[in-house]
Amino acid sequence: MSRVEGKLLGMSLRHALLGLLVDHPASGYDLLKTFDTSLANVWPATQSQIYGELAKLADAGLIVVSEQGPRGRKEYTLTDPGLAELRRWLTETEPQRTTRSDVLLRVFFLGVLTPRQARDYLDGQAAHAAELHANLEALDDSIDWDDDDLSVYGRIALEYGRRFAAMQRDWARWALTQVKSK
> Exposed/middle/buried for 137, CB within 10 Å: 0-12, 13-18, 19+?
middle
Nearer to DNA, 42 or 167 (CB): 42
CA atoms 18, 20, 17, 76: torsion sign = positive
Task: Tell the smallest beta-carbon distance from residue 68 to a second copy (Å).
Answer: 27
Distance, in Å, from the CA atom of 146 to the CA atom of 15, rounded to the nearest integer, reads 26
Stretch of residues binding DNA (CB under 7 A), selected from 70-78, 79-87, 111-119, 161-169: 70-78
Asked whether position 82 contacts DNA by CB under 7 A, the answer is no
Q: Is 143 in the site for a second copy (CB under 8 A)?
A: no
Give counts: helices (H), strands (E), the chain: 7, 2
CA distances (Å), origin 99, targets 8, 62, 86, 104, 146: 19, 28, 22, 11, 32
Instruction: Give, as one character, the DSSP assignment of residue 112.
Output: G
**What is the distance between the alpha carbons of residues 64 and 74, in angstroms, rounded to a whole number?**
9
Q: Write out the DSSP string of 84-109.
A: HHHHHHHHHSPPP-----HHHHHHHT
7 with 60: CB under 8 angstroms? Answer: no
Q: Report the residue number, 55 or 167, with the smaller CB distance to DNA.
A: 55
Choices 22-30, 108-116, 152-160, 163-171 (CB under 7 A): range interacting with DNA: 22-30
Of 19, 25, 39, 51, the one binding DNA by CB under 7 A: 51
Q: Is 7 in the site for DNA (CB under 7 A)?
A: yes
Taking the complex as a whole, the smallest distance from the CB of residue 100 to DNA amounts, in Å, to: 6
Site for a second copy in 98-127 (CB under 8 A): 98-113, 117-118, 120-121, 125
Out of 80, 141, 146, 147, the only residue in the binding site for a second copy (CB under 8 A) is 147
CB of 111 to DNA, least distance (A): 23
Tell me the backbone φ, ψ of residue 100, rounded to 5 degrees: -75, 135
Q: Please report, as ranges, the residues that interact with a second copy according to CB under 8 A.
A: 10, 12, 15-16, 19, 22, 39, 42-44, 83, 86-87, 89-91, 95-113, 117-118, 120-121, 125, 128, 147, 149-150, 152-157, 159-161, 163-164, 167, 170-171, 174-175, 178-179, 182
